[in-house]
Amino acid sequence: MNTFDVAVIGWGKGGKTIAGTLARAGKRVAIIEQSAEMYGGACINVACIPTKALIHSAQSRPEKDYDPEYFARAVDSRNKLTGKMRDVNYAMLADLGNVVVIDGVARFTGPKTLVVEAGEDSLELSAETILINTGSVPVIPDIEGAEFGGRIHTSITLQQAPLPEHLVIVGGGYIGIEFASMFSQFGSQVTVIDKNPRPLHREDHDVSQVVSGLLDGVRFITDATVIRISQTQDCAAIQYVWNEQEQTVRGDAVLIALGRRPATDSLDLATAGIKTTKNGAVEVNEYLESSVPGVYALGDVNGGPQFTYISLDDSRIVTDRILGDGLRSRNDRQAIPSTIFTTPPFAKVGLTEAEAEKAGYSIKVASKNVADIKAMPKPKIVGDPRGMIKVIVDADSDLILGAALIHIDAQEVINLVALAMRHKITASELRDTIYIHPSSTEALNEVLGTI
């Protein structure tokens, strides 16, 4: 039995960050990763970084015709980038003297013991502290023929496949919309099938309408129930019910984008006495500790928001438990922003208008189309004045309850709005703040001045 102070299962953002911190603090750390292609975690290898690299390539091409050779070059450039980042991330831990990198699939054999298997080889180890950081996997819907492989893809495998002439996306949520935007710019014909009345149905109607309008040429089939997916050597067929009629759409590739679930199937958590939720997430308290003291879960696997920056903050909480005073918790989190990298991006934070009204707030709404904002020249400078800015304000306190930003640089400006919300800076203060000119941030002067 090999003994460590800390064992980290999975090389995600939270796991790799805390592994380095604890190693530098003198702890003997084992980091376990099932694939050498995933050193550094999902974000740099198959998710955030590679998809945004492809989106940049799609945006940079003035022609929007179908060009599989351009796509192949973009994929090759993306792979070189992620390869370099993977090497750097590996060295960041492997070069530390008291970190041991273990390749293989880990499972619990007891509360503080693991076995790691790689082919016919296995290694047993124990650790005082174990961090589960295995991420998430795509949800496979209960639809006939919905099995990944061939022409039916996850958001990961689609990026490595040839550019489809016609891509059919099942799901009009965040992943589906981002990929619809990207592949339509690469020249694919894109059809999105969604069971809801409109894509991004949890957003306010005006917001989802503006975002959908950014996706030039994308066909949306809403209020549709997919009942069957099949594929042949030549194409894939999606059968769905719309308006009580069964219909079929065919494409070269299908992306199933119906969310992700915690990746815990192979961990044998029950053997360790680790409790899970109904969807398989590791059940944790506000300090991210599981039902077994000393076993923590970070990132997607604990059922929280599925963002890399949340996994990073998870590492801060657990580090504080191990090395600090242990007071930091996820209950401290407020105003967590997010972005869909459409062109231009859609960023949001806090409550929608509908959510604020349902919560009983008396609200004021500041909303303007970007093209009509005179004090926001940046989008016009770069040639894309599409989008809108919408801010929900508590009429009684003048505090910001939420915002939806759809414009150039929205992924940056939303951080300022979120910071203001966390520190209770009023809408009036944001309205009257001095901003750089020309920038996208200065739009807040004019938009918030409408209420």
Give domain limits for the chain. Answer: 2-136+260-332, 152-256, 338-450
Domains 152-256 and 338-450 fall in the same CATH topology: no
Mean pLDDT, rounded, for 36-49: 96
**Has residue 63 got a pLDDT over 90?**
no
Q: How far apart are CA 49 and CA 57, in angstroms?
A: 12
**Has residue 189 got a pLDDT over 90?**
yes
- pLDDT tens by residue, 341-379: 999 999 999 999 999 999 999 999 999 999 999 999 999
Of the CA atoms within 13 Å of residue 232, those in its CB half-sphere come to 5
How confident is the model at residue 350, as a pLDDT? 98
178 annotated to bind ligand: yes
CB 400 within 8 A of CB 350: yes
Q: Which residues are tagged catalytic?
A: 437
Q: How far apart are CA 172 and CA 222, in angstroms?
A: 9
173 annotated to bind ligand: yes
Residue 346 host element (H or E):
strand 346-350
Q: Specify the range with the lowest mean pLDDT, choosing from 63-67, 212-216, 264-268.
A: 63-67
- 201 by Cβ neighbours in 10 Å (0-12 / 13-18 / 19+) ranks as middle
* Average pLDDT of every residue of the chain: 97
171 annotated to bind ligand: yes
How confident is the model at residue 14, as a pLDDT? 98
**Has residue 64 got a pLDDT over 90?**
no
Exposure letters 382-418 (e unless 16+ CB within 10 A, then b): eebbbbbbbbbbbeeebebbbbbbbbbbbbebbebbb
Mean pLDDT, rounded, for 49-53: 98
The CATH number fitting domain 152-256, selected from 3.20.110.10, 3.10.20.310, 3.40.1390.20, 3.50.50.60: 3.50.50.60
**Has residue 209 got a pLDDT over 90?**
yes
CB 350 within 8 A of CB 401: yes
Encoded amino acid at 305, one letter:
P
143 annotated to bind ligand: no
Locate 251 and state its tokens: 């494409």
Mean pLDDT, rounded, for 295-310: 98
Q: Which fold has domain 2-136+260-332?
A: FAD/NAD(P)-binding domain (3.50.50)
110 annotated to bind ligand: no
DSSP helix/strand/coil, 136? strand
* Range 338-450: architecture per CATH: 2-Layer Sandwich (3.30)
Checking 155-161 for CB contacts under 8 A at 24+ apart, the result is 155/47, 155/51, 155/179, 155/255, 155/257, 156/46, 156/47, 158/253, 158/255, 159/46, 159/50, 159/51, 159/54, 159/75, 159/78, 160/75, 161/253
55 annotated to bind ligand: no
175 annotated to bind ligand: yes
Residue 298 host element (H or E):
none
How confident is the model at residue 303, as a pLDDT? 97
135 annotated to bind ligand: yes
* Cα first-last separation, the chain: 66
How confident is the model at residue 175, as a pLDDT? 97
172 annotated to bind ligand: yes
Phi and psi (nearest 5°) for 209?
Answer: -65, -40
Which of 69, 248, 231, 246 has the alpha carbon at shortest distance from 150? 231
